[in-house]
Amino acid sequence: MLLEYWQQLIDGFFNPQKRLFVGYLFTALVVAVVWLLIVKQVNLRQACAAVLAKKTWWSASSKLDYQMLLINRAIMLLISPLLLAQVTIAGMLFLALYEWLPQRPSVLLSWSDGSVSVLFTMVYFIVDDFARFYVHRLMHRWPLLWAFHKTHHSAETLTPLTVLRTHPIESIVFSLRTVVVQSLMIAVFVFFVGERVDLFTVLGASVVVVLFNAIGSNLRHSHIALFYPRWLEKILLSPAQHQVHHSVDEAHHDKNFGVAFSVWDRMFGCFIHSERHKSLVFGLSQSDLNITMNEQAKTQTLNNVYLQPFRESTKVLYKNSRQLLLISREICMKKMLSRTVGVAIVGALLSAVFFSGSAMAAEQVFVYSARKEALIKPILTRFTEETGIDVKLITGKADALLTRLRLEGKASPADVFITVDAGRLQRAKASGVLQALNSEKLNGLVPAHLRDSDNMWFGLSQRARPIFYAKNKVNPAELSTYEALADKKWRGRICFRSSNSVYNQSQVASMMAATGVAATEKWVKSVVANFARSPAGGDTDQLRAVAVGVCDITIANTYYYGRLTNSAKSSDREVTKKVGLFWPNQKDRGTHVNVSGAGITKYARNKANAITLIEFLASQEAQKWYAAVNNEFPVVASVTSSDTLASWGDFKQDSVNLSQLGELNREAVQLMDRGGWK
């Protein structure tokens, strides 16, 4: 835990995604010196002396900034795991869009990946900037929030590190703001334009953020009053305008809440130009402090910045509820918390961070699984019984879980990502949320074409996708290959699920790999012309449609057929009596197969346990369980299939490396769209 603390502390200065990245601090220094040389007409020595003035950097206020930097980092490290539940907003929004819209549209298909990234980067920056403005405005206008935001405004000298002079409660509020904005933007963009969503980056950070920070955003909290031309200040907020926001002058109160754009302030009537010829005094006014002038010098203490906000928020709550006042008195011990108690609380928080490692070090592994709990939980329970490693399982739809992993980044608790279809596994790899899994055991058990070429993911079970036919209408002798389904004799006789299905996308991608783009596109158009109805439902729905005569032919994953075969419901078993299974392409490349698989997440905290789990899922016991319970073919050649799977007969599998299916996924979706496959 101590190591993680120092890593995060250092990361704040060496990560280009952070405001205080050393590169941005250096450019701010250069901008400030050049500004003083040109505008103030001073020499280089005077300019450097003004920028690095000891009275600014070593004032009581600045020293408190440095102390809060160290303490806040420890506090946020302690409480950040408690905020992870909020990150599910992205998944919830993504799933909600699936519920609200019957079809997931694919838009901007003609746009290049770069164009989509530029659009997303710009829209995200604008929406994020407005959200920062609006939450900041609320921090001033709502007395309860203002009690905590005062900590930031209590700074009497401004340096770039003042940006981190925030009360932990305010940090939580702004963290949740970030989560909501990220969730909304990523969920909406991923839903409409697919996995092409990404920030246009430089050094791993948004190019707009890099530009904003590189041109001197850190001077917002400084004593260098860099102003813009008045016309430009109506669009972009200058550092000098933000310094006005920190002024004790009542004429400047509740002005210039913006971060990058000043247009929001103009829209809400809180805009003011920079004060170009006026010296500003920073800090809180006497009315804000509720103290005398003689006591003001004593305000720069940890006790005041951390505990005073709780006292003031208690007063706010008292005005609205006597009951809350009583609770607040018990919690806060109003007017009884001394400086000694304040130090004790801070010390307790630090101790909790540095010495809670043993409590958090229990043998465990966190799993994000796109497989339904009923299909994965029993074998995970067996794993725990055998190894003593506790499995924390979170299930959800694959795209939502992948979005969540991308959002969470280093804060993610996930160690293992499990999903179905190589297309999705390859998306996870391309998204940068997985790391290489080096295991001689897995390399020996899982065939090369059923795992990633860089060992980012391994297949754990197989499902074939053969042709299913109506026994009373189709002679198996009429069937041969997937390609033959384009024949006009099947006009109005074929059912398929939507092109949104990753199973169909991977099927088309495999044909692209085998026969080429032009031939596959011609096949798609011909098959669409043979549809008996518009695509609808899942694989089981297609099998039922064949059984009741809606269509004569479909393609589906074998485990759906196996579930119906072994179902306790007679109506399900009746479907398989009417629907036959045919293995296509046995004289050439073989029947298309795919996998469910797993990989270790990029920031896995329990990597050793994660490797142990994935190796267990490739063991004899787990492979037999997949076959017997889930009706899936083992990936390990030495494991025999279940009686149900064996009853379907042996077949030749397509041996295309499944990594190709993910790599061709976007092109396959575009091809299906051109072919009219809805």
AA letter at 441: K
* More confidently predicted of 665 and 159: 159
Given a cut of 80, whether residue 534 has pLDDT beyond it is: yes
**pLDDT of 627:** 81
Which of 429, 386, 541 lies closest to 195 in space, CA to CA? 429
Q: Do domains 369-463+594-648 and 465-592+669-674 have the same CATH topology?
A: yes
Question: Considering only 38-52, 169-183, 396-410, which range has the smallest mean pLDDT?
Answer: 396-410
Delimit the domains of the chain by residue range: 2-283, 302-355, 369-463+594-648, 465-592+669-674
Given a cut of 90, whether residue 109 has pLDDT beyond it is: no
**pLDDT of 404:** 76
pLDDT in tens, 238-292: 999 999 999 999 889 999 999 999 999 999 999 999 988 788 999 987 666 654 4
- Protein fold of 465-592+669-674: D-Maltodextrin-Binding Protein; domain 2 (3.40.190)
Q: Are 456 and 429 in contact (CB under 8 A)?
A: yes
Task: Using alpha carbons, list the distances in angstroms from residue 259 to 232, 240, 264, 297.
Answer: 14, 12, 10, 30
Question: Considering only 7-21, 86-100, 140-154, which range has the smallest mean pLDDT?
Answer: 86-100
Mean pLDDT of the region 28-41: 92
**pLDDT of 96:** 60
Which of 650, 337, 328, 677 lies closest to 526 in space, CA to CA? 677
pLDDT in tens, 538-596: 899 999 999 999 999 999 999 899 989 988 899 999 999 999 999 999 999 999 998 88
**pLDDT of 626:** 79
What's the CA angle centered on 414, arms 409 and 420, to 5 degrees? Answer: 105
The CA dihedral of 290, 282, 273, 265, to the nearest 10 degrees, is -50
**pLDDT of 359:** 37
**pLDDT of 329:** 54
CB-count burial class (<10 Å; 0-12, 13-18, 19+) for 295: exposed
**pLDDT of 344:** 43
pLDDT in tens, 302-335: 888 898 889 888 887 777 665 544 544 554 544 4
**β-strands 593-601, 458-464 pairing:** antiparallel
**pLDDT of 417:** 94
d(CA 528, CA 207): 43
Residue 90 C-alpha from the chain's centroid:
7
pLDDT in tens, 161-199: 999 999 999 988 988 888 788 777 776 776 676 655 666
AA letter at 355: F
pLDDT category at 145 given cuts 50, 70, 90 is very high
Q: How many residues are listed for the chain in this entry?
A: 678
AA letter at 275: E
Most confident of 149-158, 214-223, 372-381, 648-657: 149-158
% residues pLDDT > 70 (the chain):
84
**pLDDT of 265:** 95
**β-strands 593-601, 494-495 pairing:** unpaired
**pLDDT of 418:** 92
d(CA 353, CA 338): 23
Which of 160, 161, 133, 141 lies closest to 239 in space, CA to CA? 160
Q: Is the whole-model pTM more than 0.75?
A: no
**Is residue 609 classed as helix, strand or coil in its secondary structure?**
helix
Given a cut of 80, whether residue 117 has pLDDT beyond it is: no
Mean pLDDT of the region 446-474: 91
Which of 662, 657, 661 lies closest to 451 in space, CA to CA? 657
Q: 369-463+594-648 belongs to which CATH class?
A: alpha beta
**Arithmetic mean of pLDDT over the chain:** 83
pLDDT in tens, 329-382: 554 544 444 444 344 434 444 444 443 343 344 588 999 988 877 778 888 999
**pLDDT of 542:** 93
Most confident of 70-84, 361-375, 645-659: 645-659
d(CA 213, CA 423): 37
* More confidently predicted of 111 and 672: 672
Task: Using alpha carbons, list the distances in angstroms from residue 628 to 369, 461, 468, 476, 559.
Answer: 20, 12, 22, 27, 11
**β-strands 434-435, 633-634 pairing:** unpaired
**pLDDT of 90:** 53
